[in-house]
Amino acid sequence: MPPAPQFRSDFLRTYVARGQYYDCTDPEALDTLFQKERVTAYIGFDCTAPSLHVGSMLQIMTLRRLQQAGHRPIVVIGGGTTKAGDPSFRTEARPLLSDETIETNKRAIRNCFEKFLKFGDGPSDAIMVDNADWLDKLEYVPFLREIGRHFSINRMITMDSVKMKLDEDLPFSFLEFNYMIMQAYDYLELYRRYGCRLQAGGADQWGNIVSGIDLGRRIENTQLFGLTAPLITTSSGAKMGKTAAGAVWLNPEMRSPYDYWQYWRNTEDADVGRFLRLFTDVPEAEVARLEKLQGAELNDAKKLLATEATALCHGRAAANDAAETARRTFEEGAAAEGLPTFTLKLPDGVLNLAVATGLASSNSEARKLIANNGLRINDQVVSDPRAQIDTSALSAEGVLKLSSGKKKHVLVKPA
């Protein structure tokens, strides 16, 4: 990870201070651009599921920081690129989704951005566009002649995301190979339509971003820019947004505000300050104070992180309700729900836990329960009968809730 430059523009100084900076194509020129004009910048989000998850939060917060600094963010919904599927650093091809599924997913994820950004017609109001509006209308041979001729196969296969697949002899279809060209064309189209000069994204998108910059230079003779954020893992090395019960979705119908609050409340001690900077608007001076706390006081910082992160995603009222529910449930005693409580050794397999707590009479019955989406951990459906449940699945107060159907619930405490 290259060292962050000393920026002068408000946005880039904040971007560095909040821990979001990873790399930039021309830091000095981009810093100058931010100082002299309102910059239009975009990030793309493909429609591979009916909700985004916590893994997308860093990019959403980048757009939010842009708007807070007076610049104009563009949210690109990948109705077109989803039909190809981004192959970057994946060991297998993404499953092809039907047009109907993509449309359903597209409608579902649009709503989440309205909590983080202000949309409208003002100079710094956010814009939301769908790249299917231009990609679906392209004619193949004219597109190859106008755009495809500017892409060197020799150069494309040296990019890390492609090279990894070739070095490991992984399947790499011609459809996937075109994803880079489609994303580059997005950048060109956004420049032409909206004067967009910056594409931001995760560090894994560097090759795609640079391809768009090069296309803008070749066709429009203009300088475009790229800015990337690091790929975030927890201090223990876990991938952001993944739990024993599955992905941490942003849409409330896929993960309740209370469970979302609990995800952030369970943040590892070493990550509290970093996550407050990345995923909330808590001022830097307050973050610096909170991250020095220890013991029970650090738990208060985790609760603040959970409440502020949930307020951004689900609204202040839902965040406060989640915090109060957690206080009543755990601070007044986990047994307040009147649930049977078992003290068991962790880690253990989910099948063993289901049998030990009486939710299933045998491993075979537990497997059938999982196959029918009937077993849940902390109200999240368990999909993998081989899952090993360890202390990371516990609530911040040291218990987990195991459920069979809607009426049978137990609490588990580690031995």
pLDDT tens digits for range 339-361? 677 888 888 889 999 998 888 88
The predicted model gives 231-242 an average pLDDT of 82
pLDDT tens digits for range 355-398? 988 888 889 888 989 998 889 888 788 988 898 888 878 776 67
pLDDT at 94: 67
Q: Which residue, among 383, 386, 379, has the nearest Cα to 404 in the 3D structure?
A: 379
Domains of the chain, each with CATH number or no CATH: 10-229 (3.40.50.620), 256-332 (1.10.240.10), 341-414 (3.10.290.10)
Give the CA distances from residue 223 to residues 34, 81, 211, in Å, rounded to whole numbers and listed in that order.
Answer: 14, 24, 13
Percent of the chain with pLDDT over 70: 92
pLDDT at 329: 64
pLDDT at 324: 87
Query: What whole-number distance in Å separates Cα of residue 381 and Cα of residue 394?
Result: 15
Hey, which of 55-69, 89-103, 237-251, 370-384 has the most confident mean pLDDT?
Answer: 55-69
pLDDT at 128: 96
242 Cα distance to chain centroid: 10
Q: Which range, of 82-91, 106-115, 130-139, 315-324, averages the lowest pLDDT? A: 82-91
Percent of the chain with pLDDT over 90: 52
Bridge pairing between strands 72-78 and 40-46: parallel
pLDDT at 361: 85
The predicted model gives 76-93 an average pLDDT of 77
Spatial neighbors of 268 by CB under 8 A, at least 6 apart, are 234, 235, 236
The predicted model gives 404-411 an average pLDDT of 76
